[in-house]
Structure 1
Amino acid sequence: MKKILVLMAFLAILLAGCGQKNVSTDVSNDVSKKAHESTTERSSTKISEESTSTFTTEEKLTSTSSEVSTTTKITEATTESSVQLKVDNSLEGYSDDQIEYARVWLATMGTEYKRDLAASQDAFALNVYKQPAGTPVNPYAENSVTFPEDTIMLSGKYGYQSLVVYSSNHDGTITQYPVPSHFQNEEENTREGSQKILDGATTISIPTNNPEDVKELVSVLHVTN
């Protein structure tokens, strides 16, 4: 009987020890799981913070780049405006008509006049003659057709320096008529010949040219009427 009691007591102690071991293991596992979850959560938070920081940096760089680009454009626009103003101011004191006559001559005849001026200051003059609407295209033909609008005739001092007959379109272009410096044949001296000249009108763009060339031509300008 005593042996049975002792055996039962031994078994009870053994079972209690196993139960305690299982509880300890469960607790240990639970603690380990929580520690792992905590570590994972901290890692996720850190990654999120780093990602947010990266996005913020990119936004700052993009914003800075945009600001630099805008500043550059403003600077370029200001510079361009200043240059244009400087060009315009270089002809301050000259009338619009004077500038137009010089620019038209430069656009149609070029700078050949410089060779004459280099030889002598009296070797070239830019003569201006204003022609009202109704002026005959060929003054030497009795039945010549007439210009339908006011025209300007520009000519050099001598016949070989040629001439230009045009009307201003007031938009940076002119209508040029192919009037010869000399009417030398019978066809030109007929009504049909003068009509051919009128029909041969072309539109030409007038650039701003070199301001110094404009000043040079204005200095030898002679307006007849």
Structure 2
Amino acid sequence: MSIRTDVVLPCLDEASALPGVLASLPDGARAIVVDNGSTDGSAAIARRAGALVVDAEQRGYGAAVHAGLLAATAPVVAFCDADGSFDLGQLDRVAEPVHRGEQDLVFGRRRPVSAGVWPVHARIANTVLLSTVRRRTGLPLRDLGPFRAGRREQLIALGLEDRRSGYPLELLLRAWSAGLRIAEVEVDYHPRSGRSKVTGTVRGTVTAVTDMRRMLRRFA
């Protein structure tokens, strides 16, 4: 089977969600599970399911995602949380516009499938951030979600440096500065398995907002 899309799944203790996530991977896609210090056997579960497992010793969302990008070999690389909050059966929604040459970078706009899926504090933080991004860039994006896809060579060429929660925003801003074509499509957003390490807690959201504000100042 030819691998058209590598799917990078940053992972920190997602043993309960991984079997279902990996089982939903469509044909033509390969899972790259980036273990970021799991202690629940996540890496072993991923290997048994046939995923490529990469160890990211440096802790942080950006560190894990970038390690997966560097390990990818497919022409198009997608990124998605490994907690079951997204259906990889919808991978084509974000990856196909890139494969067809219509877009260079596609973000999945989260569409909650039920009430309470997206905590209020996290949704407000996302809304405020994207309002600032729209004013600064003119891009009509409404969500900086973790389900996204781009062309591998272009993503690597952006020279992303952040290794924490500012990584997605740096990706967007550098892609915009480089003149890449950026779009947004809707994807379903489901209740995650277990508690989120970032947006599921106020503390995690504050950390993410702090990282992203720092990133905005860099591109001021």
Report the TM-score, using the length of structure 2 for normalisation. 0.23
> Relative to total residues, which structure has the larger strand share, 1 or 2?
2
Larger helix fraction of residues: 1
For the pair shown, the structure with the greater C-alpha radius of gyration is 1
